[in-house]
Chains A and B, each alone.
Chain A
Amino acid sequence: MSWLIPSALGLAGAAIVVAIAIHFIARSRPVAEPFPTARFIPRRPIQARTRSLALSDVLLLLLRAAALALIGIAVAGPMFARTGRARRVFVVDRSRAVANLDEARDSVRRLAGAADKLVVFDSSAERDASLAPLDTMHLSSARGSLSTAIAAAVRTGVVESAKVDSVELVLVSPLVREEIDDATARIRASWPGRIRIVPVRSASSDTTPLRADFGANRNDAVVAGLSLMKASTNGGSVRLIRGGVVASDSVWARGAGHVLLHWPASDTSAVWPKRETIDAIGAVTTGGATLVARFPRLWVMNGHAIARWADGEPAAVEHRIGDGCIRDIGILFDAASDVTLRASFREFALPFFAPCGGVADFAPLDASLHAMLAGAGVLAPATALIDRTAESSRWSTWLLVFAALLLTGELALRRAAARGQAA
């Protein structure tokens, strides 16, 4: 048995102690009794300290103590946990870091039971009440996020904790370095038990040279600058669009590993929402490179930011589409400017040519991070997972009703005692 608010028990105990103390030291007005020679009693305030306990007082004390105890227990919220049952939550990685998704499927099938739950993740996570999506899931080109995965698993565990007494988290992932971020350790700490890690093989990093298709307009300032990166090859996996994006471009972007750079040459080349106030700003940055110049800001960029203006507002964003992605770059250059010809521009533009989701880093986690993720101890107990703030005890109502009955009895007993003394 556990309690939703254990401190309420302490408060109830303190209240009972106070009630007992009051019964011993309370100053009360005695009941008037006929006494013919009352006139000879010196005048004093009609308050007496009564220390002796009559039988009715004991009954009253017992009733009051019982009522206080019941109220305390009702507020504390007793919870009777289910015993003897455990459930697994499988967290399956389908990100680009996974070499073979069938390997993950087999691992899950070998361990899973009928009632176990599934969480599939890449950069986002999908929770499912059954293992059915295991067969239909496919490999994603997105970077995996263990933080997202564990957070989703915790939510699934909270739901399951109401039905079982412990939950086991099974993480099926290659556990590569790119899936870890600064929040991972803290989110991992929110899971109150060990994590069973089932490793699968990681994909190999793509080491092929950069291949990009910049189009034929060599007079374009951006194309000219990018051409200096010596990566321009027709038919590459990166395509630069300086005008409007057409359907064929979107279809191409869905291809595996395709990156479509939509970098409009003018304000008419994009249909993105315009800023309320069009202004200019002095710098824009991607990753570790910053380009300093005067740039007009025309659009509000929504999506996963890959470049930011000097004030933090996104200047370029990435959208996933199919197995590829489209990168919208809202940075305009004056056609007569030589900014794009500088070395700093090439360094600045380099992240735009990275694979969808950024540069892949499939190096395995070191031992300390692995140990941090696995943790130690027992399975996560349901009592530690349960969402106490949203939970209520089904016993509380009945306990409060019984306490109300006791208090009614206490009132009746008190009145009967008063009537008896008056008679």
Chain B
Amino acid sequence: MADTSYGALLDAVRGVHWQARHAVANAAPGSHRSTQRGTSAEFTEYRLYRQGDDPRRLDWRLLARSDRAYIRLATDRAQLPTTIVLDASQSMLFPVATRDKWRLAQEIAIGLAAVVHSDGDPVGVVVHETSQRIRMLPPRTRRGVVTEIARVVGDVEPGGDAPLAAIVSGVRTPRVAIITDLLGDADALLRAARVHGVANGEVHLVHVVAREEIEPPRRAILAADPEAPVVQRLLAEQTRAGYDRAFADWRAEMARAWRASGATYLEVVTGEPAAHAVRRIVEQVGELR
């Protein structure tokens, strides 16, 4: 299904690499720089042999030529397991007619999964449909995992307003990509992201915003929050400027707060191709390193 429905997207992100922001503390060999020094072929430096070092790591040739005992050090490469957390709350189902927000979030999730998989890293996905039902695919590296992720994501019907913070808190992979519109438990989610960052994890937030939310229709509408139907406000000529200002301020505050927490923050507006958004997410990491 992924090959047919998301073929263009997967083609567009082929060859894209998503580097880890920091050295990875993981034993499994992978493509990311590891915090461990090992015996890989990639030479880094010599160090004087100290008692207790493994004699097998001695550079015997150097010892024979110079009669000095040095240990040959090499940088290890490690895997970076990644979990993609996808917000499937009711607010993602906007605009109701086109579902642009949800569709873009789906494509970004699959695009990121493809990039992670191509880097040889385990990748999984967690989608909370409702507070009672969470769809999860644990991080894997095997073939076909992107297709499985596409199937899981494609089967979800957004609804409800289940909190994302609890899901992020439960994620054990060092890298978490959260794809959300932040219209749910934004504060709790930010706290959970901080906790994850403190534990040497890296958090990437993809803030999905609908074009219609930034530029609402000119006609007067009675806007009802789909996750809180009691919230009904009149969006008309006289309230439009106030809305534009408040929404822009909130988005700026979200960006500042998330970046301050050590996470990466990227706002993606519907209409932007998902592959383009994936590249921006990946490149943003490179800029921060």
Contacts and interface: CB of A to CB of B under 8 A. Distances in A.
Interface stretch (B38-46, B192-200, B239-247, B279-287): B239-247
B221 A35 contact: yes
A364 B225 CA distance: 97
Given A39-B225, A41-B242, A48-B220, A32 B232 contact: yes
Most buried by B among A33, A43, A45, A50: A33
A113 B96 CA distance: 82
B48 interface: no
B19 to A, nearest CB: 33
Most buried by B among A30, A38, A39, A47: A38
Nearest to B92: A36
Nearest to B181: A36
A281 B183 CA distance: 106
A43 B227 CA distance: 18
A29 interface: yes
Nearest to A42: B242
A40 B222 contact: no
A46 interface: yes
B14 to A, nearest CB: 33
Interface residues of A, number: 23
Contacts of B246: 40-42
Nearest to A45: B234
Contact of A39 (B94, B222, B231): B231
Interface in A26-83: 29-50, 52
Nearest to A47: B234
Contact of B91 (A36, A48, A52): A36
B224 A34 contact: yes
Given A33-B222, A35-B216, A36-B91, A42 B236 contact: no
Interface string B88-118: 0011011010000000000000000000000
Interface in B195-241: 210, 213, 216, 219-228, 231-236, 238-239
Contact of A38 (B181, B210, B219, B223): B223
Given A34-B96, A43-B233, A50 B222 contact: no
A30 B221 contact: yes
Most buried by A among B181, B224, B234, B246: B234
B222 A34 contact: no
Nearest to A31: B222
Main secondary structure of the interface of A (DSSP, over half): loop
B216 to A, nearest CB: 7
A38 to B, nearest CB: 4
Contacts of B181: 36
Main secondary structure of the interface of B (DSSP, over half): mixed
Nearest to A36: B91
A35 B101 CA distance: 12
Contact of B234 (A34, A41, A52): A41
A48 B234 contact: yes
A45 B233 CA distance: 8
A33 B224 contact: yes
A42 B223 CA distance: 11
Contacts of A43: 233
**Chain B interface size, under 10 / 10 to 19 / 20 to 34 / 35 or more:** 20 to 34
A41 B223 contact: yes
Nearest to B241: A42
Contacts of B221: 30-31, 33, 35
Contacts of B227: 36
A40 B249 CA distance: 10
A52 B223 contact: no
Nearest to A33: B221
A44 B238 contact: yes
B96 A37 contact: no
Contacts of A36: 90-91, 94, 181, 183, 210, 213, 225-227
A35 B234 contact: no
Interface in A136-170: none
B247 to A, nearest CB: 4
A37 B228 CA distance: 11
Contacts of A35: 94, 213, 216, 221, 223-226, 235
B35 to A, nearest CB: 41
A50 B220 contact: yes
Nearest to B225: A38
A30 B94 contact: no
B161 to A, nearest CB: 11
A48 B236 contact: yes
Contact of B239 (A29, A34, A41, A50): A41
Contacts of B242: 41-42
Interface in B225-276: 225-228, 231-236, 238-239, 242-243, 246-247, 250
A151 B225 CA distance: 79
Contacts of B213: 35-37
Contacts of A50: 220
B232 A34 contact: no
A14 B220 CA distance: 30
Nearest to A43: B233
Contacts of B239: 41-42, 44
Contacts of A45: 234
Contacts of A32: 222-224, 232
Contacts of B232: 32, 38, 46
A403 to B, nearest CB: 32
Nearest to A52: B219
Contact of B226 (A29, A34, A48, A49): A34
Contacts of B96: 34
A46 B234 contact: yes
Given A32-B222, A34-B94, 5 more contacts: A30-B236, A36-B90, A37-B213, A44-B238, A44-B239
8 contacts: A29-B222, A33-B223, A35-B216, A36-B225, A36-B227, A41-B246, A44-B238, A45-B234
Closest 4 CB pairs of A and B: A35-B223, A36-B91, A41-B233, A38-B223
